Amino acid sequence: MRSIAIIPARYASTRFPAKPLAMLGGKSVIQRVYEQVAGVTDRTIVATDDERIYNAVLAFGGEAVMTSTEHRSGTDRCFEAYTKAGEEYDIVINVQGDEPFIQPSQIETIKCCFESEDTQIATLVKPFDAQSGIEALENPNSPKVVLDNRMHALYFSRSVIPYLRGVERNEWLSRHTFYKHIGIYGFRAEVLKAVTALPQSQLERAESLEQLRWLENGYTIGVGITDVETIGIDTPEDLERAERFLATQNNKPK
């Protein structure tokens, strides 16, 4: 199956304007994301709404396309970029533009989900570490996922799911494997087109999670498991944390 990775990158982020162009270890965030992904798929494109990001991508030798400023989500921007790619692909992978530590192995895991003909959409989860504590599990900014026996997503929530009845909260992580959602998606090309045409759903509005719209409309979301912890950059403080993480990686013995 031929695959294309599309990296949506907006300039006007509310919490961190211009973050794709923020420098991290001597390279822009968007360049680091691009370099992690390029080569794992047949083609990689940055989809942006700003000429500054567009020109920066071309300057480091990447491929970019200009997209509308009116998109409601990265998925919508991803589909527009796909329509402008000029070629057809079997799988379209939407990689967040603020994930500079995304690993090639995670992209491969997404691709493997489509070996099952049942998979229309694919995403990743990571088991919560018991050492991270109940506070990390209960963080509403870290969506949780429950899976069926065929590794399909049953539901995503900002609340802790499932609820462990009769078990003390401080024992939950030692008594059950909870899964944290990693926000990277793969789509069969025809499914990407279909889901971007769907109106917002009730569950999506309630939880502010776009993937619930797809589940409500009957789409099957296959799930791959990763053990890699990534650092998404939403704020300047996240960038500082990423700088420290990068420094530790660079100082490791080769």
The predicted-structure confidence for 55-78, as pLDDT tens digits, reads as follows 999 999 999 999 998 888 889 999
Q: What percent of the chain has pLDDT over 90?
A: 81
Length reported for the chain: 254
Instruction: Give kind and range of the element (H or E) at residue 28.
Output: strand 27-28
Distances (CA, A) of 240 to 163, 235, 245: 35, 9, 9
Cross-strand partners of 180: 126, 144
Burial class, 166, CB count within 10 angstroms (exposed 0-12 / middle 13-18 / buried 19+): exposed
Question: Where exactly are the structural domains of the chain?
Answer: 1-97, 103-232
Instruction: Check residue 254 and give its pLDDT.
Output: 54
CB 46 within 8 A of CB 53: yes
Instruction: Check residue 16 and give its pLDDT.
Output: 87
Which class is 103-232 in CATH?
Answer: alpha beta
pLDDT classification of 233: cutoffs 50, 70, 90: confident
Q: Is the pLDDT of residue 249 over 80?
A: no
Looking at domain 1-97, which of 3.40.50.300, 3.90.550.10, 2.40.110.20, 3.40.50.2000 is its CATH number?
3.90.550.10
Q: What is the reported pTM? A: 0.91
